[in-house]
Amino acid sequence: MSAPQKVVLMILDGWGIGSGDGSDAIATARTPFMDGLAEGAPHARLFTDGEHVGLPKGQMGNSEVGHLNIGAGRVVFQDLVRIDRA
């Protein structure tokens, strides 16, 4: 049996992956630590809006909804979506 691997779940509210142009504050900032993590460690992008996080199609997500879905490990449909689907 192999030794256990360590894992980190890092949630950075407000740290988005944007267009990369001059209007993108994250892309224009000096972020050497985060750049190093992105280049050298496994990572994933998450969808944060609409049906991906249990909201109506096209609706922007928020921290509460995002944390709920990450913690549950699945899509948790919000009340409005559950009512519409009933």
For this structure, is 63 an active site residue? Answer: yes
DSSP one-letter code for 6: P
Q: Which residue has the tokens 């709920």?
A: 68
Q: How far apart are the first and last CA of the chain?
A: 47
Sign of CA dihedral 24, 14, 65, 80: negative
Name the active-site residue from 2, 19, 23, 63. Answer: 63
Q: Are 81 and 55 in contact (CB under 8 A)?
A: yes
- Catalytic residue IDs: 63
